[in-house]
């Protein structure tokens, strides 16, 4: 009996040693789920030092780096994670799409679009790819292309708030303000409402353009109550300045 317990204890010790990074990462994921992104990042950094994280944990770790504005760290994590994946696997495509976001935040929009188009053209077409490529096409400013792609994305998943917001933005870029208004109003009437600021200040600016300044300002003010991050299209400070300019 004693020998059996020794074997079990040894097996448990080996398991903990082998899986120690994943065990530490569990605590990082708990903090992430609660919205404590910087706290989560600290624990992920510990997890990466104590052992080898799996691809799934590496993807969340890298995304958390990116969300917190740690571009250099994000690039390294994604590069290391890529080596753990197989060609044309879902994890590899997810990493490539996050590398595209990194390129965008480094100021290379064309590289971001190229990376996302590579994933899209390999027929890995999931909601996050439609979200991110739709954002990039909007930022590029080609209204016709942005509308065409974001309408396709909306057909794919009209329930997704980011895709819906992208379509409204694309209509604005293309000058289709009435269409944009209809999409914004559909989006903001949803329960729960979007938890990101872009929908509110985008709709607010549209209302102001259509002569409803007071209501538009109210919507921009509401956007400031939503969470901003490094991945937001505009910073909270930019929206505060926008609001100040409209109030003059």
In whole numbers, what is the pLDDT of the chain averaged over residues? 90
Sequence ranges of the domains in the chain: 35-124
Class of the CATH domain delimited by 35-124: mainly alpha
The answer to whether 123 and 111 are in contact (CB under 8 A) is no
CA dihedral 107, 113, 118, 123 (to 10 degrees): 140
For 56-94, what is each residue's pLDDT tens digit?
A: 889 999 999 999 999 999 999 999 999 999 999 999 999
CA triplet 10, 15, 16: central angle to 5 degrees?
Answer: 100
* Distance set, CA 43 to CA 102, 188, 189 (Å): 22, 36, 38
For 128-180, what is each residue's pLDDT tens digit?
A: 999 999 999 999 999 999 999 999 999 999 999 999 999 999 999 999 999 99
- How much is the pTM? 0.87
């Amino acid at each position: 009996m004693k020998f059996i317990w020794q074997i079990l204890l040894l097996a448990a010790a080996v398991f903990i040693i082998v899986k120690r990074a994943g065990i530490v990462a569990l605590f990082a994921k708990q903090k992430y789920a609660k919205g404590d992104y910087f706290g989560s990042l600290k624990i992920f950094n510990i997890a990466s030092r104590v052992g080898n994280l799996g691809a799934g944990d590496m993807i969340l770790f890298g995304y958390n780096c990116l969300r917190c504005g740690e571009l250099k760290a994000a690039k390294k994590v994604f590069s290391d994670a890529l080596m753990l994946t197989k060609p044309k696997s879902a994890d590899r495509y997810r990493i490539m799409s996050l590398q595209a976001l990194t390129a965008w935040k480094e100021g290379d929009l064309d590289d971001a679009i190229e990376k996302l188009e590579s994933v899209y053209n390999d027929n890995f077409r999931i909601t996050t790819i439609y979200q991110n490529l739709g954002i990039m096409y909007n930022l590029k400013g080609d209204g016709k292309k942005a509308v065409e792609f974001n309408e396709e994305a909306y057909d794919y998943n009209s329930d997704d708030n980011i895709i819906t917001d992208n379509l409204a933005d694309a209509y604005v870029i293309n000058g289709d303000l009435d269409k944009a208004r209809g999409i914004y109003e559909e989006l903001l009437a949803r329960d729960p409402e979007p938890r990101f600021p872009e929908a509110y200040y985008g709709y607010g600016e549209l209302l102001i353009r259509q002569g409803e300044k007071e209501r538009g300002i109210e919507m921009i003010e509401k956007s400031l109550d939503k969470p901003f991050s490094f991945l937001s299209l505009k910073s909270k400070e930019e929206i505060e300045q926008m609001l100040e300019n409209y109030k003059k």
